Amino acid sequence: MPIISIRDLVVEYEGRRVLDGLNLDIEHGETMVLLGGSGSGKSTLLRQIIGLERPKSGSVHVKGIDVTRCNPLELKTVHRSIGVAFQSAALFNSLSIEDNVALTLREHTRLAPSIIDLVVWMKLAVVGLADFGKLHPQELSGGMKKRAAVARALALNPEILVLDEPSAGLDPIVAAELDELILLLKQAFQMTVIVVTHELPSAFRIADRIAMLHKGAFSSVGTREEIRASKEPRVRQFLDRVPGDIAHTPAVAAYLDKYMQVQET
């Protein structure tokens, strides 16, 4: 039985269809990468999976609970088994990195403070931030913030780890380090990992399977090799970095011609 099962998911914002009848199963221990261009609906799908928004229709079952229809108590139960690292890291600026990681442990467990301190240190050590726990988020670099967000997401040993654009805005070296960290975490904790990204090297490094989104629908779902070998035009366009037709519309062409004529005279 898949740990996450998405069926006929339709999401609309003010009448505009953002996700159009998606179906996807994610198995236990699998790393699923949601790949797609800007505005393809990746982050919207992610917000549906973690139960932050309700769809127009369809269902998202996480560990057997439909997060689109469950009551708040059931949703909290689901949330305790999901760790999420947001695109902006979303660390609490008023708290130190240690306190950010300790927050869920203090709120959801009855562990003694000394044990919580130890767990926090371990989680920070896993992401290479053991010496930076006393700092506040605003004192960290972009890459360190992302790693701190991963440490916080790992605090309750979640079964599912969700990472929204983990390498966005990072230099290639730090992005590669994050990829290695994701692989290490999966190996060490045997967790299901869902990663939203549009970075191809990262996707092909960490994914077991890739689901390619285009205009709110899956254009292709498969293993890394299957996606690489895909002949599907949208997938090929994305993988081969072929520009879209925005720059070739008649209106833009006419404007450019006119501009060039003015420049020449």
What is the closest distance, in whole angstroms, from the C-beta atom of residue 52 to other proteins in the complex? 6
What dihedral angle (degrees, nearest 10) is formed by the CA atoms of 59, 65, 68, 70? Answer: 140
SS (H, E, C) the chain: CCCEEEEEEEEEECCEEEEEEEEEEECCCCEEEEEECCCCCHHHHHHHHCCCCCCCEEEEEECCEECCCCCHHHHHHHHHCEEEEECCECCCCCCCHHHHHHHHHHHHCCCCHHHHHHHHHHHHHHCCCHHHCCCCHHHCCHHHHHHHHHHHHHCCCCCEEEEECCCCCCCHHHHHHHHHHHHHHHHHHCCEEEEEECCHHHHHHHCCEEEEEECCEEEEEEEHHHHHHCCCHHHHHHHCCCCCCHHHCHHHHHHHHHHHHHHHC
Which of 79, 123, 186, 198 touches other proteins (CB under 8 A)? 79
Q: Residue 166 interacts with other proteins (CB under 8 A)?
A: no
**Residue with smaller CB distance to other proteins, 151 or 227:** 151
What is the closest distance, in whole angstroms, from the C-beta atom of residue 252 to other proteins in the complex? 28
Which of 24, 82, 196, 211 touches other proteins (CB under 8 A)? 82
Q: Residue 86 interacts with other proteins (CB under 8 A)?
A: yes
What is the closest distance, in whole angstroms, from the C-beta atom of residue 197 to other proteins in the complex? 17
Q: Residue 207 interacts with other proteins (CB under 8 A)?
A: no
**Residue with smaller CB distance to other proteins, 87 or 237:** 87
| Candidate segments 15-23, 84-92, 181-189, 235-243, binder of other proteins by CB under 8 A | 84-92
| Candidate segments 23-31, 102-110, 189-197, 234-242, binder of other proteins by CB under 8 A | 102-110
What is the closest distance, in whole angstroms, from the C-beta atom of residue 177 to other proteins in the complex? 23
Q: Residue 104 interacts with other proteins (CB under 8 A)?
A: yes
Q: Residue 90 interacts with other proteins (CB under 8 A)?
A: yes
Binding residues for other proteins, rule CB under 8 A, total 22
- Burial (0-12, 13-18, 19+ Cβ within 10 Å), 149: buried
What is the closest distance, in whole angstroms, from the C-beta atom of residue 245 to other proteins in the complex? 29
Q: Residue 52 interacts with other proteins (CB under 8 A)?
A: yes
Residues at the interface with other proteins (CB under 8 A): 47, 50-52, 76-77, 79-80, 82, 84, 86-88, 90-93, 103-104, 106-108
